[in-house]
Amino acid sequence: MTSRHRTEPRRRIGAIAAVCAVAALALTSCGSATGATTTGTEGATTQPPAAETSPTPSQPDPDTPTAWGPTLGELDDARSLVASWTPEQLAGQVIVGRWQGTDPAEAASMVSDLNLAGVQLTGANIVDEGQVRAVNEAVIAAFATSGRDFPPVIGVDQEGGAVSHLSGVTTELPAFAEAGRAVSTGGAGAQAVQAAMTAAALELRDLGFTWVFAPVADVTIGSADPTIGSRSPSTDPGIAGLTAVAAIRGYRDAGIVSTVKHFPGHGAATEDSHQTLPTLTESLGELQATDLRPFDVAIDAGAPAVMVGHLDVTALAPGVPSSLAPQTYDLLRGDYGFEGVAITDSLGMGAVMADPSPSVTALNAGADLLLMPADTRVAHEQVANAIASGELPRTRAEEAAARVIALQRWQQRVGVATPVPPDAAEQTAIRVQEMLAVGW
């Protein structure tokens, strides 16, 4: 697995540095050989040559981009910002809120009251295009009242096909399996998928969205898979990975944050995590050969965010939802080298209902962003109290919040540089038809 070797160069450099340090100590212990005053053959006193001063290591260029999008400077600025925040502010910045109804004021008040990172709009929150614009504008205004000078997370599940929460508002997208079909034809198919996702994302940005909870990278097993099905790009891990990468690149080109999901892979689960906790009994080696392969290539391609699913992965943490298990995040970051934002699947799903405080558990496990807790205000209180008491280390909360802020600064910067065209919807329709034509 290519990602397993990402940290090895750092280990080799460390070993070399250690050898050099030992050698230096040996030399300095040799007395007159390096440091003593000596007398020449004619009695003249000679001084040892002046020690050479090692050059000061240069500071990293703050404009250097990370593998997942933000620059080093954006990440450092975010860390400095949250260092002085209260537990309540930190708690809010790691939650994407669930809200009830369709009133823009309801979403806005929750964001301002709790200092939320943002909100997700689901089908139950959506009436029509005008109302969606009003909600997003209200959330942006409420977010700004806290003094935060970066955009909120305003996200939506807009995968295409059955999972299209903006159905009737934006251009209809086919199931993501159609994108996989296009990619399976070769390079032209991947280019067509990338172009279609760019167009679709620009249409989302026109409405005020900053995040899209897509693409799906799960490898479906077919009819035995009740949850993912045609949401998956393919039954072939290689095609699934290439399709996810094409979508990620398309979203990036449009200046929207994408979210590859559902790590470590939901396509082989035979139960629905919305209702219960599905079990995956495959060995880690089997998972690496199938379910995990698309995530590996997606991370290599610069995925900015990874959504962690709610699965009982017996090879990692038997009996524990993967979104709440430290072993999952260790795999994601340690083995696969992911450095971006790890976001949970919705914390209002049946798979995590047995935990009385899944938000705190997820953050302690390694999550950075909590998606739609069952009760947003209760979750905020639990997280704030956990930070204040030390149950959730403040350093962990700051790390999570800083990653989210840095990614939003990236979205802000790239969004400004990538204006939305006036014919965004028309362009989406054209690009989608081109993608479908390649697949057929």
pLDDT in tens, 400-423: 999 999 999 999 999 999 999 999
User: How far from 374 is each of 102, 155, 157, 378, 391, CA to CA, in Å?
Assistant: 17, 17, 17, 9, 21
pLDDT in tens, 152-202: 999 999 999 999 999 999 999 999 999 999 999 999 999 999 999 999 999
Residue 20, pLDDT > 50, answer no
User: How far from 296 is each of 181, 215, 253, 283, 334, CA to CA, in Å?
Assistant: 20, 14, 21, 17, 12
355 is catalytic: no
- Going from the N-terminus, what domains does the chain have, and what CATH number goes with each? 72-439 (3.20.20.300)
Beta strands in 98-179 (DSSP E): 118-121, 153-156, 158-160, 163-164
pLDDT in tens, 301-349: 999 999 999 999 999 999 999 999 999 999 999 999 999 999 999 999 9
- Name the 3-class secondary structure at 427: helix
What is the average pLDDT value for the chain, to the nearest integer? 90
Strands 118-121 and 153-156: parallel
Which among 76, 113, 236, 274 is annotated as catalytic? 274
Which among 291, 296, 312, 345 is annotated as catalytic? 345
274 is catalytic: yes
Residue 5, pLDDT > 80, answer no
What pLDDT does residue 346 have?
97
Burial class (CB in 10 A: 0-12, 13-18, 19+), 58: exposed
Cα R_g (the chain), whole angstroms: 25
Strands 163-164 and 158-160: antiparallel
